[in-house]
Amino acid sequence: MVRDSSSADSDPSPPAAPPAPRTFFEYVRSFGPGLVVVLTWLGAGDIVDMGVAGGNYGYSLMWVLVVAVVMRFLFVSLIAKYQLCNPHGEGVLDGLTRLHLLYAPGLWLAAIVMGHVYGAYMTVGIGEACVNVTGWGAKWHWALVWNAAALLLVLRPAYGRVETLFKLFLALLSVSFLGTALWVRPDPQGLLTGLYRVELPEQSGEFGPLLVAVAMIGAVGGSLMNLVYPYFLESKGWRGPQYRRVQLYDLLLAVAVMIVLDLAVWTLGAELLHLQRLTIRDMDDLPRLLSRVLGEGGRLLFYLGIFSAIFTSLVGHALGLACLGNHAWRRWHSGPSARSTGFREHRCYRWIVVWCLISPLVWTVPGMPDFVTLTLVSNSAQVVLVPFLAGGLWWITASARYIGPEHRNRWWENAVMALLFALAMYGAVKAVETVHGVLQRMV
C-alpha cells in the first residue's frame, strides 16, 4: 500500500476527553458541536430555499421542511451513534470504507467537487450581500476579502475559537431573523396548516414547486455536510458511548435552532412576497421589500443575518470538508492505519481548505449565474449523493459486525431508514430531472 506523503507531517494527540456531563448546567455548558454544525448547514441554501418557498407558495410547502428535518435528524443521529459507540474505535468514514473500499476515494472526490459547488454560491452570496448593503465595490472585491478571512481562520484553526465565534454569530442570526419575522406579524393559522397539509401547489414564479421541494431536502436533509458532524465531536473530545446522551441533546438543540430560524425566513417570504404576488429573483428582493415595510433599519437587520449565515457556513464547510476529504485521502492511501484525528496538521487538509475558499471566486466575475440560481441548482444536485450515504449508513448501523450487537438499529430504526432510502432514491431521480431542465434554460 502506498503511504500518503502527508503522513510526514506531525499528527498530534487528540484533545483530552472532558468528563461526561451529569447536571443540567453541565449539559448546557457542554453544548457546542451541534451549534457549529447547524450554522454550517444554515447558510445560503436555507435562506434562498425558505425565502423562495415562502414567497412563491406561501405556507403551503412547509411540510417539506418537516420531512427534511426528520431526514437530517435521523441521518446525523445514526452517524453520531456509529462514531461514538462502534467497538472498533473508528470513524464513520472508516466504517463505510470497511463496507466497500470505494467509499474512501468516492468521499474524497465528493469533498473536492462539493467543496467547490458549495463554495460557489456562498462566495457569490457574501459578495452580493456586501455590495447590496454598502453600494460600493464589486462582488469579487468583497468575496475576496471574506474568503481570505475564512481562510486565515480555518487554515490552522483552534476548535474552541471556532465554536465561540459561531455562538456569537448565532446570537446575531436570532436577533436578525426572529426579529424581522415577528416584526411583520406572521399568520399563526397559516403557519400551522402549512406544516401538516401535504400538497404541491401550481407553479408560481421561475422555480417550480418540485425543484423548490427537492432543493430544500437537498439543503436540509441530504447534505454531504451531515458527515462532518463527527469531526466536530472529535474536536470537542467526545469519544465513546458515555457521550451519546449529551450528543443527542446537543443535536436536538441544533435541530430546534435550525427549525426556528428556517421558519422565520419562510415567514418573511410568505408575508411580504406571497401576499403581493411577488417572487424572488435575486438576493435583494426580500430585504428591499422589508425596507418598505420596516424601513431601512429592517433591511439592514435582515442583511446582518444573511451575512452571519453565509460567513459561518463558508467557514464550517471549508473546515468540515477539509477534515472529511483529508480523512478519505489518508484512508484511501494509508489503509486502516490512518487515524481519524489530527487532520488539520496535514498538507492535504490545507490544500482542500485553499481549494474550497479560493477556487469558487471564479463565479464572482461578471456574466456568471446569480446567487439564487446557483443555490437552488447546487442543493438539488447534491441529492444524488443521498442514496449512497443513506444505504451505507443504514448498513453499518444495522449490522452487529460494524457497530456491535448492543448499539445496532432497532426494528423501528431500520423501518424508518428503509423509508428514507426509498425517498432518497426517488429524490435523486427527480433531482437529476429538475437540474437538467434548469441547466437547459440557463444555456
The average pLDDT across 324-341 equals 79
221-231: pLDDT as tens digits? 457 888 999 99
Which of 186-200, 207-221, 404-418 has the largest mean confidence? 404-418
Average pLDDT over residues 401-417: 88
Residue from 311, 298, 283, 14 nearest 149 by CA: 311
**Mean of the pLDDT values across residues 392-407?**
92
Domain ranges, ordered by start, for the chain: 25-442
DSSP string spanning 159-191? HHHHHHHHHHHHHHHIIIIIHHHHHT---HHHH
Separation of alpha carbons 186 and 119, rounded Å: 33
Q: Please, is 217 exposed, middle or buried when counting C-beta atoms within 10 Å of its C-beta (0-12, 13-18, 19+)?
A: buried
Q: Which of the residue ranges 285-299, 360-374, 426-440 has the most confident prediction, judged by mean pLDDT?
A: 360-374
pLDDT of residue 10: 41
Gyration radius of the chain's alpha carbons: 21
Confidence of residue 297 (pLDDT cuts 50, 70, 90): confident
* Alpha carbons within 13 A on the beta-carbon side of 118: 34
Q: What SS3 state is found at 137?
A: coil
The DSSP result for 368-431, as a single string, is: SPPHHHHHHHHHHHGGGGHHHHHHHHHHHHH-HHHH-TTTSPPHHHHHHHHHHHHHHHHHHHHH
CA distance 78 to 99: 16
Please state the length of the chain: 443
> What is the structure's pLDDT at 8?
39
Name the band, by pLDDT with cuts 50, 70 and 90, for residue 7.
very low
What is the C-alpha separation between 410 and 430, in angstroms, rounded?
A: 30
Phi/psi at 11 (nearest 5 deg)?
Answer: -130, 85
Question: If residue 52 lies in a helix (H) or strand (E), which one and from where to where?
Answer: helix 44-57
The mean pLDDT of the chain is 82
- In angstroms, the CA 5 to CA 330 distance is 9
CB 142 within 8 A of CB 127: yes
Q: What local confidence, expressed as pLDDT, does residue 2 receive?
A: 37
pLDDT tens digits, residue range 67-94? 778 778 888 898 999 999 999 989 999 9
Pick the CATH number of 25-442 from 1.10.1740.10, 1.20.1740.10, 3.40.50.720, 3.10.20.30: 1.20.1740.10
Distance CA 216, CA 67 (A): 10
Q: For residues 166 and 149, give the distance between their C-alpha atoms in angstroms, rounded to a whole number.
A: 15
Segment 410-429 shows an average pLDDT of 76
Q: pLDDT tens digit string along 35-77?
A: 999 999 887 767 777 777 787 788 888 888 877 787 788 888 9
